[in-house]
Amino acid sequence: MRSASHSPIGVFDSGVGGLTVLKSLLSHLPHESTLYLGDTARVPYGTKSGEVVTRYSLKNASFLMERGIKLLVVACNTASAVALPALAAALPIPVLGVIAPGAAAALRQSRGGQVGVIGTPGTIRSGAYQRELEAAAGPGGVRVKARACPLFVPLAEEGWLAGDVPRLVAREYLADFVQEGVDTLVLGCTHYPLLKDIIAEVVGPGVALVDSAEATVHVVARLLAERGLLAPAGGTPTHHAFVTDVPERFVEVGARFLGRPIASAEQVDLSF
Ligand code: DGL
């Protein structure tokens, strides 16, 4: 029997956004096979209630579990923020979200303990980043300022990443962070790494930007190593993407998020 180390890592998101997490995963862990599920029929999660996002997340997780994954990465910040306890309780494998790794990376980078968090309305409303940052901050403490930036999601999907429109939106959302002296800003949504340049331009060089996707992949690598679950070098990793709506838009828009073409995605029915 093949050992669990040969099994794929499962990754799910509400749609294309989680491909930023998959991109990091493929570059840091090139021997791993992956199964990606984008719940494109039910996207966005960021404006939905925690109860509904948790229900969708459990469904996504059980779909991937049935396909023999060894570890689940919840790439979607909103799902990580609201559904992680339910997922961890329901699954017999390790489950990792993006919130704790992103918060830990922010605390490592922050010089003055003034941390900003941006994300979807659902992520910010949940208070998950704020709680995680405060719990992990230690005796020095941390001051957290959080704000939902919903327009960044359609801008990233439209590929509107530079110029006056995203600059104006970024200024509107981020002016208070600059004014209040935030020294570190967590990009707490799968889509925001695509807008990193314009965000950096608006907040200036004094603010460190934390990509939760990058931070999470380092934790995935450590966890797989600790549990003896790293895929052996020399194998031929396989990658498969599933979507819950027709695949055309996912394949087209997703290539920008993944940084390489997506050959195909299989449409599956996860209806309730
Ligand atoms: N993937 C979501 C997140 O990271 C953004 C898109 C959505 O709202 O579904 O929170």
Q: What CATH number has the domain spanning 4-97+214-267?
A: 3.40.50.1860
CA of 42 to the centre of ligand 1 (A): 11
| Structure confidence at residue 3 (pLDDT) | 75
The fold for domain 99-212 equals Rossmann fold (3.40.50)
Determine the atom of ligand 1 nearest the C-alpha atom of 43: 9
Instruction: Give yes or no for residue 247 having a pLDDT over 80.
Output: yes
Q: Whose CA is nearest to atom 2 of ligand 1?
A: 76
Span 25-48, mean pLDDT?
Answer: 98
Compute the distance from residue 150 Cα to the ligand 1 centre, in Å.
9
Q: If you average pLDDT over residues 157-179, what whole number do you get?
A: 97
Q: What are the catalytic residues?
A: 76, 189
**Probe residue for ligand 1, chosen from 49, 189, 244 as the CB with the greatest number of ligand atoms within 8 Å:** 189
Give residue ranges with CB within 6 A of ligand 1. Answer: 13-15, 17, 43-46, 76-78, 120, 123, 153, 189-191
The arithmetic mean of pLDDT across residues 219-228, rounded, is 97
Which of these, 120, 110, 179, lies nearest to 146 by C-alpha position?
120
Span 35-51, average pLDDT: 98
Over residues 66-88, the mean pLDDT reads: 98
pLDDT in tens, 92-122: 999 999 999 999 999 999 999 999 999 999 9
Q: Give the residue-averaged pLDDT of 162-187.
A: 97
Q: Do domains 4-97+214-267 and 99-212 have the same CATH topology?
A: yes
According to the model, what pLDDT value does residue 261 have? Answer: 96
Task: Determine the distance separating the centroid of ligand 1 and the alpha carbon of 75, expressed in angstroms.
Answer: 9
Indicate the average pLDDT of the chain. Answer: 96
- Under a CB-based contact definition with an 8 Å cutoff, are residues 99 and 75 in contact? no
Q: What is the pLDDT of residue 63?
A: 98
Give the model's confidence band at 192: pLDDT under 50 very low, under 70 low, under 90 confident, else very high.
very high
Where along the chain do its domains lie?
4-97+214-267, 99-212
Per-residue pLDDT at 138: 83
Q: Say what the pLDDT of residue 69 is.
A: 98
Answer whether 0.85 is exceeded by the pTM.
Answer: yes
Q: What is the mean pLDDT of residues 12-41?
A: 98
**Of 23, 84, 153, which is best to mutate to test ligand 1, by the most ligand atoms within 8 angstroms of its C-beta?**
153
Q: Is the pLDDT reported for residue 1 higher than 80?
A: no
The whole-number pLDDT of residue 272 equals 62
Section 36-65 average pLDDT: 98
Tell me the percentage of the chain whose pLDDT exceeds 90: 96
Q: How far apart are CA 189 and CA 105, in angstroms?
A: 15
What percentage of the chain exceeds 70 in pLDDT?
Answer: 99
The whole-number pLDDT of residue 271 equals 78
CA of 153 relative to ligand 1 center, distance in Å: 8
